[in-house]
Structures are given as C-alpha cells and as structure tokens.
Amino acid sequence: GQSTYTAGYEPSRGEIVATSQEWLSITFGDVQVFLDSNTSIELEDLAEDGPTIRLLRGRLQATADRTPIWITTNTSENTVFSGTATFINYDFLETVHVVPVDGSVQTHIKATGDYMLLPVPIAITEGYEPSYETIEVNLEAESSAGFYEWVEGLTKR
C-alpha cells in the first residue's frame, strides 16, 4: 500500500517515523523522502538549510533539489545535493547500501575517516571493522521494484 502523510503539525527533532506494510512520502521544503515498507528513520535535524535523517533500518529514496539532505547511519554521513539516491540499511547484516540514482552522493565513513564523492553504488560494512566496496545494484530487479515504480510515479513532473 501507499500513504501520503499529513501530520497536521510540524514534526520535531528526534521524532521516529516507521512504516510497516505501507510506503510513505514525506516532503521537507523541496526535499522529498520516500520510505519503503518496514523502514524506520529518526528526524535528527530539520534545519531550513536541509534536513538530517538517520536511517535506522530499511530502505529510503531521497531527492534533493536546491536544498541538500543528509542521511546518516551508525558509520556513515551521506549528503545528496541536486540529485536522487537510495539508501538501504540491512541492520541485521550491519550493512548499508548507498546507491546514487541521479547525480552523486558525498559520503563520509566516520570510522575510517574516508570522504568520497560517489557516482556508483557502494556497500558499507558497519560494526566491528567498518569497510566499504563498490557493488552492482539493479533496483528494478529487486523485490522492491514496486516501491521504485511508486516513487517514480510521484516524482514525474
């Protein structure tokens, strides 16, 4: 299923947003965030110069226009400027996939001190020995293809 969520109030810093069997679209100014089912995020900061969202588990796609968005995980800080990216946190595997869809993602892996501008997908291993490697990803072939079709339908202009 799908949801368009209108809170009726201003969300606040520290608020947790979680989906179960539905998809959810959230807009922060000109930034759009789409949550797949079984996804949890924390609204870390809702500053006017761009929101910071912590991806606790699951899958989200973020589209930023003039305002950037920061997506954080246990080990990484990721920034999307004028583009679109998918982030998948396999919390049970301690692995995060960062997948640029349109444009690049600026990624900082805190534990290793690496800063990268990513035009290609990577898998970040979190946990005891953080590391990363480039990966091949076909979002349309995954079990979540319906989610991406839904997102595409909402973002067509």
Structure tokens at 97: 């996939």
Residue closest to 103 by CA, chosen among 48, 63, 131: 63
Q: How far is the C-alpha of 141 from the C-alpha of 137, rounded, in Å?
A: 9
pLDDT at 111: 87
pTM (two decimals): 0.91
pLDDT at 78: 98
Q: How far is the C-alpha of 56 from the C-alpha of 48, rounded, in Å?
A: 23
pLDDT at 143: 82
Q: Are 101 and 60 in contact (CB under 8 A)?
A: no
pLDDT at 81: 93
Q: Please report where in the chains the tokens 């209108």 appear, as a residue.
A: 6
pLDDT at 2: 54
pLDDT at 9: 62
Domains and CATH numbers, the chain: 2-155 (2.60.120.1440)
CA angle 52, 122, 157 (to 5 degrees): 60
pLDDT at 48: 85
How confident is the chain (157 residues) per 10-residue block, as mean pLDDT?
Answer: 56 90 91 96 92 97 95 96 96 95 96 94 92 91 88 81
One-letter amino acid of 36:
D
DSSP assignment string, the chain: -EEE---SS---TT-EEE-SSSEEEEEETTEEEEE-TT-EEEEEE--TT--EEEEEEEEEEEEESSS-EEEE-SSEEEEE-SEEEEEEEEGGGTEEEEEEEES-EEEEETTTTEEEEESS-EEEE-SSS-EEEE----GGGSTTHHHHHHHHHHH--
One-letter amino acid of 15:
E
